[in-house]
Structure 1
């Protein structure tokens, strides 16, 4: 089996489904291109000797039974959906890599002792409907019908109608989650530039960072820019600037892996000759240690209130996302590291600053992740790219890890 060619052909072919005329790829949950992509993967699974099946919501599985321990399953895969005008690797590389790695193992070693399974998850990105991790949350039985019954996309198309249009429906909630999964390994592009900058081929992920996201509104008083003396102003942007500068400085002092981002800023009235009376802004803070994350953000909240008081501003702080860090399983991480060493890869242990399906699955089943470099750290962008030799290196490490998990006693 020519691993290089099989991998390249699959990435090329699958990337044509949902390709955007302006560059990149758009493949959103329950669209026609999404279903076409899942059917393409199903055909590839069948051609690789796996049995392909869909669950109720549209997650796709490809399975080969184990010869000695069929009731023990080793799982690998990722998600098939994309962001709007995204790249050709995020999500789908993990799906392709999983079935290519298993195809290679079957061709080289025959049927495994434990069952091997690929999962192509229906949705992770949240790019069409205001919901995320629909695929993995249904897989682990966390998804709630009430979360999606009344939501619609940007065109007003209802989630439930579109799901049923494509032949899917809500799962049977009386059926418990599976008890046969012994390990889940997800491979993904890094979506950062650490591996590239350090000239490494593989990242062995041992933790997914927790996230706290806020929307904050500062309200002062809009007034004439020429006739309002500086000492009389209640300038919301000035208050924001104090907050932004000080909190970023504090984050730099704390150091890695803490990151904080003020990604959205909307001053009002946002015109050249009026003192801004209001500013809405967001704060995104991440760390792999829950206590550090909690302490830092609580101190940031207190500081924001102090600035507001000092500058005669009203403040409203909305903490709308509070996701704890998710550690990967030590044994599965060790298996991945062993595989990287066996394949003589240049690697490092690292955490993921981005969210992945693994963070949903890891609390239920032993999990680990493999990263391959991202060129310039670019992702969610038509310019998203990874050198083909790095993609192949990742598949080799994945295959070796799956071999250790599924073929060894």
Structure 2
């Protein structure tokens, strides 16, 4: 069956307008976007999407952690749900496409399908997931994790943001976590589709229009703390110091050297450093740095961390310091559904659209759904591979091409 598509010019204008519309919630003076879980910009964005869903005639509801759903009911009362969408939260000062594009694309696709073909056979739901980034609290995939049952209230007990606000209190403050909405865990999902910007350079460099993801890499994240001793910067000889900063610098150098010489594609990042007392003329007594390790093979990640940490202990001993570790994320690599990918490839070949089968180096809600139900993760190109930045950009032609693919795929799955 030939699927009637909206005109590219009209679709491009709609996508552009909606990208700017959603970016207005949390826009900062540098043209970045900051929507952190349960903050004022976040709740304003969710309410705006809720209103848009109502305008489309969808059945709208939140769950008890703040995930937002708009449902187009199906003709078959026994059919499972075809779910599509992405996350509404951002990093601090992030771009306007990450997460938001997947929600916008889903809204546009469902609007077009309902207008052209009426009620689907199977229910389609658009989801604006409450959280994915871990930007406010040390917790990622809170939205998808609750839907799939992999996250619980126990996991957030005593977690605080940088201001000292408890995770649970922030949730209560905006009306969630109080039992006023349905519990989030779902057992009625047939599949999940996430359309996302690539956040990398592969598609642009290979001059491909769509990325079809076969696997999402695994991730481990740590907070590593070096404990030393504060002392006077001028009167303490170098050989008698227990300098947490000096130790941390050596540990970070070891991490980067091992990652740079690893030939399996592993990546490691230290992106945050906190020192105490953080005074220029005082030897640091405590330094905490973040560690993010990613690879498509769990054993490779485990071996890398073990070897680094074993070396860390000997370095710390040489400096008269000690180390503590807090592993707060350990997500295994996840394969996307081969049947859904085959259906996507069939559409792309039929339409003559260039594509690339690829692995995602970034984590996505799809990796959480991928262990729960058949899942597809689809990419459109990112200019220069830049993301998590106000400079994040995807050409409108690529954005509308992704929406058209989503329309075709949803029609095939739900009609």
Instruction: Tell me the TM-score normalized by structure 1.
Output: 0.84
SS in 1 for 2:79: strand
Among 291, 305, 312, which residue is 1:297 paired with?
Answer: 305
Among 380, 384, 391, which residue is 1:376 paired with?
Answer: 384
**Taking structure 1 as reference, are residues 114 and 222 closer, same or farther at Cα in structure 2, changes over 3 Å only?**
same
Distance 2:63 2:254 in 1: 49
Question: Structure 1: any 5+ residue segments left out of the alignment?
Answer: none
Distance 2:260 2:352 in 1: 35
| Partners of 1:270 and 1:276 within 8 A in 2 | yes
Distance 1:282 1:51 in 2: 42
Does structure 1 residue 58 correspond to structure 2 residue 66?
yes
Q: Cα offset for 1:115?
A: 1.6
| Partners of 1:204 and 1:350 within 8 A in 2 | yes
Note the 1:328-347 alignment, pairs <5 A. Answer: 328-347=336-355
Q: Cα offset for 1:287?
A: 0.7
| Partners of 2:229 and 2:283 within 8 A in 1 | no
| Partners of 1:26 and 1:83 within 8 A in 2 | yes
| Partners of 1:223 and 1:276 within 8 A in 2 | no
Among 101, 124, 132, which residue is 1:116 paired with?
Answer: 124
Q: Cα offset for 1:98?
A: 0.8
Q: Please give the root-mean-square deviation of Cα atoms over the aligned residues, in Å.
A: 3.4
Note the 1:242-257 alignment, pairs <5 A. Answer: 243-257=251-265
SS in 2 for 1:114: coil
Distance 1:262 1:156 in 2: 23
Deviates more, 1:331-340 or 1:398-407: 331-340
Does structure 1 residue 96 correspond to structure 2 residue 104?
yes
Deviates more, 1:153-162 or 1:197-206: 153-162
| CA displacement, residues 67-122 of structure 1 (integer Å, 9 cap, x when unaligned) | 34652211101111222322211111111111111222233333322221111112
Q: Cα offset for 1:289?
A: 0.7
Distance 1:11 1:177 in 2: 29
Does structure 1 residue 142 correspond to structure 2 residue 147?
no
In the other structure, the counterpart of 1:385 is 393
Off by >6 Å, runs of 4+ in structure 1: 172-176, 220-227, 232-238, 267-278
Deviates more, 1:248-257 or 1:34-43: 248-257
SS in 2 for 1:284: strand
Q: Cα offset for 1:369?
A: 0.8
Does structure 1 residue 320 correspond to structure 2 residue 338?
no
In the other structure, the counterpart of 2:226 is 217
Question: Structure 2: any 5+ residue segments left out of the alignment?
Answer: 1-5
Distance 1:204 1:171 in 2: 38
In the other structure, the counterpart of 1:283 is 291
Aligned length: 405
| Partners of 1:222 and 1:278 within 8 A in 2 | no
